[in-house]
A and B are shown apart, each in its own frame.
Chain A
């Protein structure tokens, strides 16, 4: 057509193959190397978290008391125990030579433990390998961090999902419809805002906690209840600033329904903000959970989360640094790549760059 008229080719006069927003975004995401790596890493985390129960060797609750506080190693546990006890014996001997006679019973006990460990070197339990070391009750740190990751990711996911679904719907409706509905919804958000988050969770705990029940579900509800407030406000602001633009007018004049205008025209234009906000809030949900766990209102043993593992590990970091490092590194890597992925997604989903390469 353009040729016939004989005009130059430019971006306004070409036949374009219609491409959906998502296909387009995926195309652009694939070009972003860092985002792609992030996708793989986050995918790997998700896969491990989902399939962990299928691997019987990932046992986060069995305590092998003899294996307490073993360092990360590829050697079998039996050998490490002997090494550790012998090192302890040397220190004890040194202190006794310095005149601390009260340590003599400890030396005797250590000698007996070494003998016991040597005699049982070939027991199947002593063949175990702890690549991330063990904690103070002889539990595998690898299993603990993986199961901790399940809880933390779950918390992040639930917080984010409710934030996205509830927040977007409330914000969009409120912004687009306006009037008394806007007033009503936003005042409700204000009220929720003014209640301290901790207070809500504590009240929920007091109301719903039952004998013998772990509080993790109440925690999920607590996080979900407050997670969507900020995003609802952000979306509302975006919608208000966009709702009188030409493309909305055009859609409306062609007879599009309110729902169609909101979900097909307005929301895609706010996706950038939503994604940035989501990728920023995901770590904060995980942090919130760890704080609550620390106060005894989050996950309780034997389950743990990254947050609770880190706060426990910090207590013993001078003696057993791996108890801090294993969960801390795992958590940092996850959050790091999660942020990169968020960044990539924002670039990819930005409707302003539709059909651009």
Chain B
């Protein structure tokens, strides 16, 4: 007993000194994949930020693109061709990173057999990409070419001003062809994986943690300070928060909502506006939500302001719009809270006072915060519409699967912009977008989004505004609840290189112990 105590103390002392540059993140859930082409959620995306690097990467302060694998780039005068000059960088097995790796990676994301949910993102901007992804075109016709091993040229469908920022996203990752061909879908397993980012996968204990360690072959390895990073998979915010308080977690992404009154008083609580929206997904093709009046009635029945001000209290902004406002763009809100209108709409749809309305299931991933919101929404619908819904929680991975398959009626959802432009929010609802969980289909909307790709400046913003108007005012495809606030627990007096930013991505490359 005494001896084990001694060993424990020695270990603790050891942990205190030698492991100083080890960083522990409470990541909120088990990552659904480590393959950049398949990543879809913010939990998995953390590993993209740690292990891979695209042409550009997110600036830790502004979320804009800064040079990464690309040293520099030039845009043709018409804005339709972008040429990237790659720097001398190596994969973790020593192979140089070439323009061909990017071509392979992008085509892999686009290949129909990969079934990437983000393929549409490439499809939106890169010439010929959409056709290839839909199986109508050939891979050779996709507008991404390796001029030589260090020069990558991209042909765009229109002068998309956000294109370079976009390439920080995981869908634009380079991929190590030789490894993927050798191991197939096992290539992201520890030992198999080959990366070009600052960290490499060391260990993955399912439902427990993922451990990455510094990649010494990384081009900027001398500026990478953390030795290892451990991502805990626990989805219990309450446990995570207790661990954070005890010093066993260094950064907690998200907070324990039930403890907000205490958390707000802490100096290591970081809150800032985020370019993201929390919303309720309705299955637009399934009764009763195939009737726009029912969708609108639901939107009118939920008091978002009380939810944010009295329940969540975390600096979120209640909203009826989907894209957060930004310079040059005025969001177009959908139906706001109005119980009288809600009742009338539901009656018009054939369910006066909720009579005859089917009982529906609302699905959400296990998390105290989502549960709180679900229960609030449930009661709002009962009070204002006399409609009963049943709540069902599940693992995050299952929820994503069900949403992707449109196998739900009502589902909790949230979307964080991938770059700072309304386009990243609105493009979700294009008919064939992989992230169009609610199965919204409106040709007029699709047309506007497509036209916006070709347009520039103010005209483009006007088209996007028009598209949002269709999405929310005509169709009410979803029910936005609020714009997220970044809520993180990290002691910035101990850890440097971590900044509040609009997208809420914090590349671990920059994080260091003060």
Contacts and interface: CB of A to CB of B under 8 A. Distances in A.
Given A137-B376, A300-B391, A211 B310 contact: no
B256 A315 contact: yes
Contacts of A181: none
Interface string A82-107: 00000010011001000010110010
Interface residues of A, number: 33
A103 B265 contact: yes
B423 interface: no
B407 to A, nearest CB: 10
A91 B311 contact: no
B264 interface: yes
B306 interface: yes
Contacts of A136: 258, 311, 372
A98 B160 CA distance: 48
B360 A301 contact: no
Given A300-B391, A316-B259, A106 B238 contact: no
A302 B238 contact: no
B360 A296 contact: no
Interface string A119-141: 00000000000000000110000
For the residues of A in contact with B, the DSSP-based class is loop
A215 B394 CA distance: 13
B393 A296 contact: yes
Interface in A69-91: 69, 88, 91
Nearest to B286: A211
B390 interface: yes
Contacts of A66: 310
A86 B389 CA distance: 37
B57 to A, nearest CB: 29
Nearest to A300: B391
B379 A302 contact: yes
A49 to B, nearest CB: 22
Contacts of A65: 306, 310-311
Nearest to B398: A296
B359 interface: yes
Interface string B304-323: 00100111000000000000
B371 interface: yes
B68 interface: no
Contacts of B309: 109
B265 A61 contact: no
Contacts of A103: 264-265
A62 B382 CA distance: 10
Nearest to B365: A296
A240 interface: no
A325 to B, nearest CB: 16
Given A137-B379, A212-B389, A214-B390, A91 B265 contact: yes
A63 B389 contact: no
B375 A137 contact: yes
B310 A106 contact: no
Interface residues of B, number: 37
Contacts of B236: 315
Contacts of B366: 296
B372 A212 contact: no
B389 A61 contact: no
Interface string B215-242: 0000000000000000000001010000
A212 B379 contact: no
B424 to A, nearest CB: 28
A214 B359 CA distance: 10
Nearest to B309: A109
A319 B263 CA distance: 11
Nearest to B375: A301
A100 B388 CA distance: 43
Interface in B363-416: 366, 368, 371-372, 374-376, 378-379, 382, 388-394, 409
Contact of B259 (A91, A106, A319): A319
Question: Could you say which of A65, A106, A314 has the most chain B C-beta atoms within 10 Å of its C-beta?
Answer: A65
Contacts of B382: 61
Contacts of B391: 300-301
Contact of B360 (A91, A212, A300, A318): A212
B393 A319 contact: no
A51 interface: no
B359 A100 contact: no
Given A300-B391, A302-B375, A68 B310 contact: yes
B314 to A, nearest CB: 11
Contacts of A92: 265
B256 A213 contact: no
Contact of A319 (B262, B360, B388): B262
Contacts of B390: 212-214, 300
A294 to B, nearest CB: 9
A301 to B, nearest CB: 5
A318 B262 CA distance: 10
Contacts of B264: 103, 106
B379 A315 contact: no
Nearest to B408: A211
Contacts of A314: 238
B72 interface: no
A194 to B, nearest CB: 24
B65 to A, nearest CB: 29
Given A61-B379, A100-B267, A296-B392, A211 B361 contact: yes
A212 B258 contact: no
Interface in A309-357: 312, 314-316, 318-319
B504 to A, nearest CB: 18
16 contacts: A63-B376, A92-B265, A95-B265, A103-B264, A137-B379, A212-B388, A213-B361, A214-B390, A215-B392, A301-B374, A301-B375, A301-B378, A302-B379, A315-B238, A315-B258, A316-B259
Given A211-B359, A213-B390, A316-B258, 7 more contacts: A68-B310, A92-B265, A212-B388, A214-B390, A302-B379, A315-B236, A315-B238
Interface of B: 236, 238, 256, 258-259, 261-262, 264-265, 267, 271, 306, 309-311, 358-361, 366, 368, 371-372, 374-376, 378-379, 382, 388-394, 409
